[in-house]
Chain A
């Protein structure tokens, strides 16, 4: 089952190709934290930051609304949970909206099948960076 999901996700990433044009506002903006809840309609892997592994992104149909929001989870290696299309998810994240109306939420917490996954801290520091005090290369949003 898990292998199947991964295959779908990889295929989706291949099909999705480069991400659409992004705005400079796509960072974890603590002023724009929102709660979200909905149903997973699509699972994709997308390059989100320069020099990093592709990110797991869920296309979530928001509950009670007919619109879809992209929920940026984490690098795919960090999120060790099965995700299936049609599953209910909810969580907390920072919402950004591109000029073309594309809505993206950088998730800080994601609840799936009752289990809460903490992806970032309250200021948006990524959990997969751990407590390492090592220096990192630049992670600018967008595709190089």
Chain B
């Protein structure tokens, strides 16, 4: 699935739902606040009415104003209270905050209610007239804490925010997971496509190579027989030319054989092998093939390291790598060795040559890719096939001017 599709079919609807939730939450918050404020104001107004009646009764009984207010102040939600006479002079007052009685007697009319925003929270305030039984007029000024309402609104807001955060988090996690899965799927799909193309290419190359080898081998055999017949009848002065011709025919046959080997399926006959013996054997074969190579190869002993594999195939694979190293660094020594890592065996071959450009390093295992003038691009490709047929891996690390290192990993014995 493309990223755009993921966005259109998953992320966009989710964002829509989230925005809808947020908007509805904000609107319901505002509505809740308005309704709660109305409800609380009504309730507090009713409570204030009861208090006024109580105060009037106390005053009728001749209780001192200070004592009356002390009685009222048992109510915890009451932040301040004051009793004023008919001329609005303060007779007595109480406050939970030192000296705090937020009333402007010059501004108030006979009866006032309101909400004061104080550092201690919102306060419902009311100044109302009360009359005693004998007709005396007083004003009762009250300040009720609206903390309960504020706490309820804050709790509701917190819950909405928490829910939104949870939805966002869950959505984020879900889409992260989806994105990861989709990315993995894309990578796997690309790898599968690359593998398919590689197999297709190999099939085409195999068919072409087999056909060419078959078509060349028949006339080549005839040519070899012809050279043999000519050799028997030729005069001694022609023997040299004929031997040269025979050698060229053999070279062509060898090349054709190599091409044929490439397209054959690699089927290792696995046995328990000592790593040292394979390395020594490969180095010996290289010395026989490339004069002077033996003196440049330094084998690092790996006693006791054993692996599972086909002696001949692995020998051929290592020979190819050593040969490649010797050709890549005509002067510098080649170091080859190995070690056991867990249940695997690691083989390293390092040369001190000029190294490979990044592009070449990424393509050295491709069939028929070569950077040498006389190479055919078969050796390392065949090596990779042999290693992979053993269930192993091969990788090349190279930097220009710093040599090249081949790292092979094979199952240990």
Contact = CB atoms under 8 A, between A and B. Distances in A.
A and B associate: yes
Given A30-B104, A124-B102, A133-B150, 15 more contacts: A27-B93, A29-B101, A31-B104, A49-B99, A106-B99, A124-B99, A125-B119, A126-B99, A129-B119, A133-B147, A135-B147, A137-B96, A138-B95, A139-B96, A141-B93
B119 A28 contact: no
Nearest to A94: B99
Q: Which of A24, A29, A136 has the most CB of B within 10 A?
A: A24
B96 A124 contact: no
Given A24-B91, A121-B119, A132-B120, A139 B104 contact: no
Q: Which of A26, A131, A133, A137 has the most CB of B within 10 A?
A: A133
Interface string B113-142: 000101111000000000000000000000
Contact of A126 (B89, B97, B103, B105): B97
A24 B95 contact: no
Question: Interface residue tally of chain A, by bracket?
Answer: 20 to 34
Interface string A104-123: 00100000000000001101
A24 to B, nearest CB: 5
Given A126-B97, A136-B97, A139-B95, A31 B105 contact: yes
Contacts of A141: 93, 99
A121 B82 CA distance: 20
A132 B66 CA distance: 27
Contact of B100 (A31, A52, A125, A132): A125
A85 interface: no
Contacts of A26: 99
B355 to A, nearest CB: 69
Contact of A131 (B70, B77, B119, B147): B119
27 contacts: A24-B65, A24-B93, A25-B89, A27-B82, A27-B90, A27-B95, A27-B99, A28-B99, A28-B100, A31-B104, A31-B105, A49-B98, A49-B99, A120-B100, A121-B118, A123-B102, A126-B100, A129-B97, A129-B98, A129-B119, A135-B145, A138-B70, A138-B73, A138-B95, A139-B96, A139-B99, A140-B93
A11 B333 CA distance: 96
B92 interface: yes
B94 interface: yes
Contacts of B95: 27, 138-140
A88 interface: no
Contacts of B118: 121, 123, 125
A83 B73 CA distance: 36
Contacts of A131: 119-120
Contacts of A121: 118-119
A48 B92 CA distance: 16
A4 interface: no
Interface in A1-58: 24-31, 48-49, 52
B359 interface: no
Nearest to A134: B120
Contacts of B99: 26-28, 49, 72, 94, 106, 120, 124, 126, 139, 141
A130 B65 CA distance: 30
B222 interface: no
B90 A24 contact: yes
B357 to A, nearest CB: 69
B176 to A, nearest CB: 39
A125 B147 contact: no
A140 B68 CA distance: 13
Give 9 closest A-B pairs by Cβ, nearest first. A136-B96, A123-B102, A27-B101, A133-B121, A139-B98, A28-B99, A49-B98, A131-B119, A31-B106
B105 A123 contact: no
Contacts of B106: 31
A122 to B, nearest CB: 9
A141 to B, nearest CB: 7
